[in-house]
Chains A and B, each alone.
Chain A
Amino acid sequence: MKNPARKNVVPQVLIQTLKTHPVILALIGFVVLFSALYPERFLTPLNFSTILKQFVTLTLFALGPSIVVVTGSLDLSYVGIWMLGGILVWLLMPITGMFSILVIPLLGLVTGFLIGVIQVKAKIPSFILTLSLLVTYWGITATLSGGYPRSVREYAFITASLIPHLPTAFLWSIPIILAAIFVMKRTRIGTYIYAIGSNEEGAQLAGINVDKHKILAFTLSGLFTGVGAVILFPHLGGAAPVELNLNNVVGPLVAIVLGGTPLVGGSGGPQRTILGALTYAVVYRGLLLSLLHPEAVQLLVGLLLIVSIVVGSRGLKGVTIT
C-alpha cells in the first residue's frame, strides 16, 4: 500500500513512534519538568553524567531479563550473578590473574542455562525459581566472602575516564545494547522468542522447538547479564556487596516494565528497556535533587513501580500463579 501523502511521512512516523512508545513522552515531560523546577541543579554536566551512570547500571542489569520477559517469564537472578561473580573474581584473582573477570560471563551463561532447563523440565513458575536462586547465590556470596565486601582494584581501568563528563561505562554499554537488539530483532532466535511470548501453542504448531528456545532465552539473559556485570563490577566500585538490596532487584524491573515490555510477553524487548532505564534514571535523579526527604524518594519509586506494573499487566492471561 502506497501512502498518498508522501510529505506527511515524517510526522506520521513520529506520531506512530510516540503511540507505540508512550514512555518517550513521559521522558521528555520529566526532563522539561525538572529543568523548569530547578534548572541550576538539574541542567549541569555533572548531573547528566550521574544520570548516565545510573542509566548504565539499570540497562546492563535489565537488558538480559528483558529478553526473558518477552517470552512471558521473569528472571530475577541478575543481582545474584553480579554478586557471586564479583566474589568469584576476588577468589580467582591470585590464581588466574587478569583472566579472572571472564568468570562472570561464564557464571551468567551457566546460571541462565540452568534456570532455563529447570523451568522447562520441572515446570516451576520462573518468578519463584529465579527468586530462590537469587537468595541461594546471595548465601553463597556471603559464605565465600566471609561476610565482608571484597574489593578488586585491578579492573578499574575498564571504566577509567576517557571523555570528561561521559562515563566510560556508558561507552562500553553501547555495543552490548546493540548486540541485544540485534539478537532480538535480526536473528531467528529473536523472532522465535517473540513468537513464543505471543502464542506458545501456536509457536509449537509452527514447528518451533519451544523448550529449546525458552532455555535459549534464559541463557541469553544470563549471558548478557554476565557480560554486563564485567562492566558493572568496576562501574559499581570494584566490590560486590554481601547484603542483598531489594532496590537493586526492583530498579531494573521498573526499567523493563516502564519501557513498555508487557509482562504478558510477545512484544517490547531490549530496545524498549533502554528507554525505560533512561526514564527511571531521570525520575530518580530529579526526585533526589528535589527538596524531598531522601527516604520519601524510595516511596515514590515504589509507587512508580506499582503504576508501571498495573499498566504492564494489561491483557495478562494464563499465568499459573495468579
Chain B
Amino acid sequence: MSMATPAEAPLLEVRGVSKTFDGVVRALDEVTITVHQNEIVGVVGENGAGKSTLMKILVGVYAPDKGELYYRGRRVPFPRDPKEAAGRGISIVYQEKGVIPHLQVYQFLLLGHEDKYVKFSSLQIDTMKRVAGEILEELRVDCDIESFMYELPLSTQKMVEIAKAILSIRLEREDTDTTPIIILDEPTAPLAIEERQGLFNDILAMKRNSSFIFVSHIIPEVREFADRVYVLRDGKQVAYHDLTREKVTEEDLFRAIVGRGSSEYLYKPGLEKAVGEEIALTASNLTKNSYYYDISFHLHRGECIGLFGPAGSGKSEIIRTIAGLVGFDKGSLTVKGQTVKADELPHLRLERGIGYFSGETGKELFLNWPIAKNISIVNIGRILLTGRVPVISFSAERKMAERIVKKLRIAAPSVNTDCTSLSGGSKQKVSVGKWLERSPDILLLEDPTIGIDVGAREDIYEVLLEMKKSGASMILVSDDPKEYSILCDTIIFIKGGRMQRVLSPAEFREVTAA
C-alpha cells in the first residue's frame, strides 16, 4: 500500500507487522501504519479484526512475529513492556478496565511510578500531589486531586486516564522532546451519549502537543474526529483514507469494515404479509437516561423489528431492557396487554413469552453441559414423565434434542456432547434450537450470528424465518445490515439514543445502498 509521504519523517511508523497466535490464528498480517505529529489516526474494524492485537504490540504487551518499528525515521526495537513503551513515548488508555475506583486522583495518576517518589521507604505524598496537580492544570482537567476516582463523572475519569498516559510518558521518556502518542481504545464505549462530544473537544484541544491513535468500531465518531483512518479486517489492512483530503462517507467505511457492499444485501420479498394485526409488545416513550430516550413502537404478531444504528447508539441497551437484563427510567413497556415493571427479573420475561438469544458465547449457554440439557433447560415442562409429577424423562429429553440436532444440522457426535467442544456455529445453533423448541411469542435477537461462518448463518436464518412464519415476533439488533434485510419487516433507525426514522425493508435497502 502506498501513500503520499509527508516532507518530514513520520513520528512513528510500524511496518509490516504480523502476529500469529498458537501457530494457527493469524491475528495480524503485514500491517503498516504511520502516525504524524499532532494528529488523530483512526484504526477501525470489527471485533476480532486485529485492532487490539496491534495496539498491544505497540505498548509491549505482545511481541510481534515480524515487522519493524521506526521512530522519527530511525529504526528502534519493539518495546517489551508498557513501561518501555512509555519510554518511547507510547501509552494506552484502555476501554473500560483501566480506572481504579478507590484510589484518589493523584494516587491513580502516579500508579506504577511511585518509585520516583519514595524517600526513606515512605511515599512523598506532597510531591505526588504537586506533580498530579500540575499535569491536570496543564491539560485543563477540572477535578480535585484528592477526590476518589469513583466520585468523578465518567468523562472526567477518561480525561484523568489520558492525563495518566501522558504523565507516564513524561516520567519514563528517554529523550526530552518526545511527543506523546496516546492510544485510545474505544474511549467512548463507557460514556453516556451526552458526554462523548465533550471528551472529543478535550482531545482535540490536546492535539496541540500530542498525537492520538483512536481505536474504534463506531464509524461516525472516527469519520468526524480522525485525520486519517486505517481499516483492518481479519488481521489485514484493507483500506486507508486521508479524511483531510478525501470525501469519505460512513457507507464507504462500513463497506471496508465488513467487506460487503450494500448491493449484496439479500432481500426476500413477501415477508411483510406474515405480519398479523395482533400487537405482541408495545414500547412507549421508553427511556433509560444516558443510553436511549423516548423509544416507542408496536411489535405485531409475526413481525420482526430491527433496531438499526451505529455501535453505541443505544440499540443494544434497548434490547437488553426488553430482555430484562437492564432496567429503564421512564416510559412503559407492555407485553400482550400487561405492563412490565422496570426492575423485573429476566425469568419473568420468559413467563411472559419473551425469549432472548444472544450470539455472545456462553452468555445463555451452559458450556459444560451436553447439548441435550442445553436444549431442554427452557423446555423442562415438555420432557416430564407425566404432567403432574416433576420428574424428567431422559428419553424424552434425548428425543427432543435429537430432533433439534437433526433439523438444524448441528455437527456433533451425539446429543450428549458437551457444548464446550462444539464449534462457534454449532453452539449458536444449540442456542437457537432451544428457542425453536420452546417457540416463544417474542424472540429477542442480539447479534445472532456474530463470529460464525456463512453456512451456519444460513441455517440459523432459515430457522428464524420459520419461527416468524408460525407467528413469533422478533426484535433484532446486529452490526450486519444484511441481517436486517433478511429478517426484518420494519427497521427503526436509531442514532444518539433516539429514534430517527422508521423504514420499510425496501426503503432500508435504498438508504443503505445509496
Interface residues of A (CB under 8 A from B): 1, 182, 186-188, 191, 194-195, 197-199, 201-203, 205-208, 266-267
Interface residues in B, total, Cβ within 8 A: 22
Name the distance in Å between A188's Cβ and chain B's nearest Cβ: 4
**Docked complex Cα distance between A203 and B111 (Å):** 9
A205, B111: Cβ atoms closer than 8 Å: no
- B26 interface residue (CB < 8 Å to A): no
A-B contacts besides A191-B107, A197-B102, 7 pairs, CB < 8 Å: A182-B122, A186-B122, A186-B125, A194-B102, A195-B111, A205-B98, A267-B102
Residue in B100, B115, B125 whose CB lies within 8 Å of A206: B100
B97 and A201: CB pair below 8 A? yes
- List chain B residues, Cβ under 8 A from A203: 100, 111
Nearest CB of chain B from residue A132's CB, rounded to whole Å = 26
Interface of B is mostly: loop
Given contacts A195-B103, A207-B82, contact A188 B115 (CB under 8 A): yes
| Inter-chain contact B81/A191, CB cutoff 8 Å | no
List chain B residues, Cβ under 8 A from A206.
98, 100, 111-112
Is B101 interfacial (CB-CB < 8 Å)? yes
State the CA gap A197–B101 with chains docked (Å): 10
B118 contacts across to A, CB distance below 8 A: 187-188
Contacts of B373 in A (CB 8 A): none
Contact A198 B123 (CB under 8 A): no
Residues of A within 8 A of B100 (CB): 194-195, 198-199, 202-203, 206
Write out the residue numbers on chain A whose beta carbons fall within 8 Å of the beta carbon of B103: 191, 194-195, 198
Partner of A1, one of B94, B101, B144: B144
A197 to B102, CA, bound (A): 8
The answer to the question of B121 belonging to the interface, with a C-beta cut-off of 8 Å to chain A, is yes
A128 to B123, CA, bound (A): 35
Quick check: is B114 within 8 A (CB to CB) of the other chain?
Answer: yes
17 A-B contacts (beta carbon < 8 Å): A187-B121, A188-B114, A188-B118, A191-B111, A191-B123, A194-B100, A194-B102, A195-B102, A195-B111, A201-B97, A202-B98, A205-B97, A207-B83, A207-B112, A208-B111, A266-B101, A266-B102
Distance A188 CA – B94 CA, assembled complex (angstroms):
23
Q: Mark out the residues of chain B between 78 and 123 whose CB falls within 8 Å of any chain A CB in the assembled complex.
A: 81-83, 94, 97-103, 107, 111-112, 114-115, 118, 121-123
Interface string of B319-355 (1 = CB under 8 A from A): 0000000000000000000000000000000000000
With A186-B123, A186-B125 in contact, is A208–B112 under 8 Å at CB? yes
Q: Identify the interface centre among B83, B103, B107: most chain A CB within 10 Å of its CB.
A: B103
Chain A neighbourhood of B111, CB < 8 A = 191, 195, 203, 206, 208
A191 touches B94 (CB 8 A): no
Q: Which residues of B contact A187 (CB under 8 A)?
A: 118, 121-123
Query: A191, A195, A203: which has the most chain B beta carbons within 10 Å?
Result: A191
Q: Which residues of B contact A207 (CB under 8 A)?
A: 81-83, 112
Separation in Å of the A30 CB from the closest CB of chain B? 28
| Least Cβ–Cβ distance between A113 and chain B, in angstroms | 20
